[in-house]
Homo-oligomer: A and B are copies of this chain.
Amino acid sequence: MVVTTQASTRQLDDAEVEGLDRWWRAANYLAVGQIYLMGDDPLLTRPLAAASTKPRLLGHWGTTPGLNLLWAHASRCVRERDLEAIFVTGPGHGGPAVVASTWLEGTWTDVYPDVSRDAAGMGKLFRQFSFPGGIPSHVAADVPGSIHEGGELGYSLAHAHGAAFDDPGLVVFCVVGDGEAETGPLAGSWQSVAFVDAARDGAVLPVLHLNGWKIANPTTVARLSDDDLVAHLGGRGYAPVVVEGPHEGETSADVHRRLAAALDGCLDGIAAIQARARGRAGDDDHEVVGTDDVPRWPLLVLRTPKGWTGPAEVDGERVEGTWRAHQVPISEVRGDDENRRRLEEWMRSYRPEELFDADGRPQQDLLDLVPRRPMSANPRTNGGSVSRPLRLADFRDHAVEVRGPGETMHSPTTVLGDWLARVAVDNPTTFRLFGPDEVASNRLQAVVEAVGRAWAGKGDPDDDRMRPSGRVMEVLSEHLVQGWLEGYLLTGRHGVLTSYEAFVHIVDSMLNQHAKWLKVTRQLPWRDPLPSLNYLLSSHVWRQDHNGFSHQDPGFLDHVATKKAEISRIYLPPDANTLLSTMDHVLRSEHYVNVVVAGKQMVHDYLPVQEAVEHCARGLGIWDWASSDEGEEPDVVVAAAGDVPTLEALAAVDLLRTHLPRLRVRFVNVVDLMRLQSASEHPHGMPDAEFDAVFTRDRPVVMAFHGYPALVHRLTYRRANNGGFHVRGFVEEGTTTTPFDMVSANDMDRFRLAADVLERVPGLLPRHAALRQRLMDARRRAREHAYEHGEDPEEISGWRWPHGGVHHAMPAGTPAGRGGGRPAVDDAGDRPTP
């Protein structure tokens, strides 16, 4: 039942084989040179001297010859078929390989002109590799043609698919190492095959490269028989073909012939699948109901020895073909003459004098092998250079009407969904929405209704709007949707990933790597800015009624806050209109990681759209209508960041205004969390004078915060009033839960916040101990009601802001809101104790 790909019957002629082998030898020579040589005599015109070798030998040889082999062969196909193609290097620690081919193709010199394609440049190429002030040892952002560093293993196949979506002319050669194949994210990535639209997407050709070993262990995949491997991958929906070599007595030429035939078979298979789908294009964009007409995409398995062409043995132990070839197979070449002689013999075995002319330029026949469109120079791999801004309809047209603060309620993500659907429709090939089966659950169903879900596997009558051309991508793997989105962004397109807040931690480490990519590429002048990586975290920590404690974790904010300030942005819009304005902003932004947290449950509408825009532009500001300081220095600042915190904080202010009408309360809402940080630490940081004018320099600040309280303390660390912040947030007290049970278990409920104010404003508590007791009693009664009836009392769940208020439009030039220009005066002595 398993379908396999047949190798092509076309056989290479001897000249073609010789050309491939010569390219391979050249690339291998250049790779070994990078690992070992200082670069003063790159062509080995003299016997190799100790001083010509690097004092510290860094890098990875083991995977390198296999990568060189695959690059040479992929490049032959690109040339012969005039493909638009890119090369994704799963085993990215084989940096020397990709750097070598990129230099041979001339692209390295195009990007870094001082590293010329001659002996002088070859010397620099050798020296710079994994050398102080040089380039990393991986296929990092510094390498032209790379969209995938491969430093952390697991994401190559997801990146490759992300690159291929909506790019029908593209072929992505994706090398998956057998080490990487053991990782969970890679193992889960094979199912990508069921999401490729043969008509409208490009093709990914996965190459599972088995060299058999990791650092010190065999790989579990390589220990499977060919039959088992073909069954395993074939069962998942591929049509595999296996190439192994060299067998006993064979030369590399035999492997070249078999590999070329297999690759041609794969590319013929891809072309056939696409032709069939595209021949009927226009009418296959139906929902795939009841069909199992699913293509089996080709997949190549290549078995070659680890460290092939390197030293067979060192000190009596087998090296080539074993784990001992993983990094530097011969060490101590400076101090050990015999080792250095072995290295020289190894390097000369590639016969560099036949490959490069006396000036170190590749021989003309090698230059002639470079395709018209070399993979290293494909503009898609510099995604910013081909990216176009999204067409964004005016979100104001989708805003909810707000007559007075808190009078109406909406689900913010439902409102957002209507606008996002429009964005998806207006950008039919450059925007996708990604999520792990939670798009509808997060109330973004409108997007599904407008543009459908991507699915190219077998259909079923109960499928909900699934079709190959669908724009919403859902699979229950945070790793896979994140990897797809990254690949899509890295090649210049746009997207949003929506997830349950707690489980986005699953991709913490992927976020790290993407943030590092953004940080490094910002410093590379030839790399253009990329569209931002946008997270919409709904079903957040405070609203997990179905699920409880395991689904409650706001720590992704803390994680993102550790990234470089020029990269990371965190937004906590409190209502529907602020969410709209925020999402419009992040979809226009470039080269950031934007994290937006917004609930899907009904929340009060606070701000009309124009005020929402101004509030979001400001990032944080005083809400006059909720404050009772009437332009005076307040007795206390009550602040909130997040939708549930804003609700509880406003309800607390209501309690204070009702019971302590003379208390001067200022209410501050924070949308852009990084405004809290000092301007010296974050580009969004509010200048100290403005910050002090809003939060005062010395009055108590009682803040309800969406996440862990420590994050606010960390961000406000350098503020004058840092010590005055009293923050309530999530303290790892999960509940099975009504909304009030949840906030009160974490001491972030309205009564606790109001009591905090009593306790924090000097002089209040002694006079109002009875009020504090009443607050605590009301809190206890509300919880008891929930415990008895299973739902919150009406006075909690039905609470509305009762004080009315109008929205004072603030002068556009006052960045900190009303208080912007007000001097911070310490008038503690005059403070009334109501």
Contacts and interface: CB of A to CB of B under 8 A. Distances in A.
A15 interface: no
Given A140-B549, A194-B223, A710-B714, A216 B56 contact: no
A474 interface: yes
Contact of A183 (B151, B188, B453, B545): B188
A519 interface: yes
A790 interface: yes
Interface in A28-46: 38
A218 to B, nearest CB: 6
A156 interface: no
A505 interface: yes
A736 B130 contact: yes
B790 A54 contact: yes
B462 A231 contact: no
A318 interface: yes
A187 B477 CA distance: 10
A221 B318 CA distance: 42
Most buried by B among A154, A323, A738: A154
A1 interface: yes
Contacts of A227: 1-2, 235
Nearest to A182: B476
A93 interface: yes
Contact of A713 (B717, B735, B736, B741): B717
A93 to B, nearest CB: 7
Interface in A514-568: 516, 519-520, 545-551, 553, 555, 558-559, 561-564
Given A502-B152, A562-B555, A737 B132 contact: yes
Contact of A516 (B58, B292, B464, B549): B549
A710 B564 CA distance: 12
Contact of A215 (B131, B220, B440, B455): B440
A732 B522 CA distance: 13
Given A180-B476, A516-B734, A228 B236 contact: yes
A757 interface: no
A100 to B, nearest CB: 17
A783 B463 CA distance: 62
Contacts of A186: 184, 188
Contacts of A233: 235
Find the residue from A185, A194, A562 having the highest chain B CB count within 10 A. A562
A823 interface: no
A786 interface: yes
A220 B475 contact: yes
A60 B546 contact: yes
Nearest to A1: B227
A559 B479 CA distance: 19
Interface residues of A, number: 133
Nearest to A191: B220
B58 A546 contact: yes
Contact of A791 (B56, B185, B562): B56
A587 interface: no
A505 B93 CA distance: 19
A243 to B, nearest CB: 18
Contacts of A462: 213, 318, 321-323
A547 to B, nearest CB: 6
Contact of A185 (B180, B184, B235, B558): B184
A205 interface: no
A4 to B, nearest CB: 12
A248 to B, nearest CB: 16
Contacts of A134: 736
Interface in A462-489: 462-464, 466, 474-480
Nearest to A220: B191
Given A183-B184, A480-B184, A232 B236 contact: yes
A265 interface: no
A437 to B, nearest CB: 4
Contacts of A475: 182, 217, 220
A135 interface: yes
Interface centre among A480, A520, A710 (most CB of B within 10 A): A710
Contacts of A93: 546-547
A458 interface: yes
A237 B216 contact: no
A503 interface: yes
Given A231-B235, A559-B559, 7 more contacts: A132-B738, A136-B550, A187-B191, A194-B220, A228-B237, A555-B559, A713-B714
16 contacts: A1-B225, A55-B790, A130-B546, A132-B736, A133-B787, A134-B736, A135-B736, A154-B184, A183-B184, A184-B185, A187-B188, A187-B190, A225-B292, A231-B231, A231-B232, A562-B710
A-B pairs with lowest CB-CB distance, top 8: A151-B550, A232-B235, A231-B235, A184-B188, A184-B184, A187-B187, A1-B227, A505-B509
